[in-house]
Homo-oligomer: A and B are copies of this chain.
Amino acid sequence: MRADARQNRDRILEVAQRLFAERGLDVPMAAIARRAGVGIATLYRRFPTREALVTEAFAEQIGHCLSVLDDALADPDPWHGFCTAIETVCAMLSGDRGLSAAFIGAYPHAVDVTGAQERALREFAAVIERAKRAGELRADFAIEDVAMVIMANNGITSDSPETALAASRRLVAYLINSFRAGHADPSRPLPPPAPLQLRDAFDQAGT
């Protein structure tokens, strides 16, 4: 690969990441090319489909999400690990429409993203199990609730990223408060979890 080509490639990824974050995953390909200072053809050469571009643009951040889960599993306090896992992931997703969309699975065929999502859910299951065993997480908390939290968090948007983040944090705080064992209101039993498919929310986050 020629040096100038590599430079262009890097700049495309950088710009794509920023534009995806600001405007969502369906920002015009031409806009990305223009902001990156390259022609459309160059963009399409490197990334034959939008999906390919998305996958590569967010590979790093999705990896970071996974490492957050690893940290949570390594946390000596299971409940603290559970809370920071949810809080950190939601905060990451809050400011970045593109990352949310990618993670939720707007492009089910982007294998990397899908694989990461599945791995993330598997790791989350371990975090949950540990927090339950410690008696700090309510017993009827389900793995589907993680998808629920992510989707709900994804619904919180605002013109200003700061506002969105603040609201997201408050939502997550309310939810975590309910997840803690012993705080349930027995007069209002919880409906059963629904088998949410994260990727059902594709159009929500896709814009």
Footprint of B on A, CB under 8 Å? 24, 83, 144-145, 148, 151-159, 163-164, 166-167, 169-171, 173-180, 183-185, 188-197, 200-201, 203-207
A-B contacts, 20 of them at CB < 8 A, read A145-B174, A151-B155, A155-B204, A157-B200, A157-B201, A158-B196, A158-B197, A158-B201, A159-B200, A170-B192, A170-B194, A173-B189, A174-B175, A177-B184, A177-B185, A178-B178, A183-B185, A204-B205, A204-B207, A207-B207
| Complex Cα gap A193–B171 (Å) | 9
- Residues of B within 8 Å of A159, CB to CB, are 197, 200
Q: Given the complex, which residues of B lie within 8 Å of A152, measured CB to CB?
A: 152-153, 155-156, 171
Other-chain residue from B24, B151, B178, B192 in contact with A175 (beta carbon distance below 8 A)? B178
Q: A160 to B15, alpha carbons, bound, how many Å?
A: 36
In Å, the complex CA distance between A175 and B5 comes to 51
Please, how many angstroms separate the alpha-carbon atoms of A53 and B129 in the complex? 50
- Whether the Cβ atoms of A155 and B158 lie closer than 8 Å is no
CB distance from A187 to the nearest CB of B (A): 9
Pairwise interchain contact B188-A173, C-beta atoms closer than 8 A? yes
Partner of A196, one of B151, B163, B176: B163
Which residues on the B side are within 8 Å of A195 (C-beta)? 163
For residue A162, which residue of chain B has the nearest CB? Answer: B194
Q: Which B residues lie within 8 Å of A206 (CB)?
A: 207
20 further contact pairs, Cβ within 8 A, besides A170-B192, A173-B191: A148-B167, A148-B171, A152-B153, A154-B155, A155-B155, A155-B201, A158-B196, A158-B197, A163-B200, A166-B194, A167-B194, A170-B190, A170-B191, A170-B194, A173-B189, A174-B174, A174-B190, A177-B184, A183-B185, A203-B207
